[in-house]
């Protein structure tokens, strides 16, 4: 796992780049941070927020680094059954950018944006 700089227009975000087995842990049990998860396939993966300590903005990105879907403020899973939810995109994606919702960076992203890293 290494840090990566993700660029969108004038915005630059530092995130942990996770691949292979690292994607299954993601940001679980971390107090802060952002992560770019890289999956081996471009498909509709399922994501959940078990053991997260804060809500996430989920930016779904296809193999061409284009934003294909956005879920804002996904709450951590807790004892409330309403939080027991799997998240996915309407479209296939290869990358998932997990952003700490408290930083309010998700508002800068739009479907169709192309990211650089």
Span 39-98, pLDDT tens digits: 999 999 998 888 888 999 999 999 999 999 999 999 998 888 888 889 999 999 999 999
Q: Are 87 and 47 in contact (CB under 8 A)?
A: yes
Read off the CATH number of the domain in which 54 is found: 2.60.120.1140
Residue 65: inside a domain = yes
Residue 88: inside a domain = yes
Q: What angle do CA 32, 36, 39 make, to 5 degrees?
A: 135
- Between strands 35-43 and 11-18, the pairing is parallel
pLDDT at 27: 73
Residue 53: inside a domain = yes
Residue 117: inside a domain = no
How far is Cα 115 from Cα 63, in angstroms, rounded to an integer?
A: 11
Cα distance between the two ends of the chain? 15
pLDDT at 72: 95
pLDDT tens digit sequence for 16-40: 998 987 777 777 767 888 999 999 9
Contacts of 12 (CB under 8 A, 6+ apart): 5, 6
Place of tokens 């942990």: 16
pLDDT at 73: 92
Residue 16: inside a domain = yes
Residue 103: inside a domain = yes
Residue 116: inside a domain = no
What residues make up the domain containing 55? 2-108
How far is Cα 49 from Cα 77, in angstroms, rounded to an integer?
A: 5
pLDDT at 7: 97
pLDDT at 50: 83
Q: How many domains does the chain have?
A: 1
pLDDT at 112: 97
What mean pLDDT is predicted for residues 100-117? 95
């Amino acid at each position: 796992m290494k840090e990566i700089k993700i660029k969108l227009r004038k915005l630059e975000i530092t995130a942990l780049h996770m691949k292979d087995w690292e994607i299954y842990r993601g940001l679980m049990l971390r107090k802060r941070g952002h992560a770019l998860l890289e999956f081996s396939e471009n498909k509709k993966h399922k994501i959940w927020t078990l053991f997260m300590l804060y809500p996430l903005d989920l930016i779904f990105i296809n193999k061409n680094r284009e934003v294909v879907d956005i879920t804002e403020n996904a709450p951590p899973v807790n004892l409330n059954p309403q939080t027991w939810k799997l998240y996915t995109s309407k479209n296939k994606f290869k990358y998932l950018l997990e952003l700490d919702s408290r930083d309010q960076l998700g508002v800068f992203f739009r479907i169709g944006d192309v990211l650089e890293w």
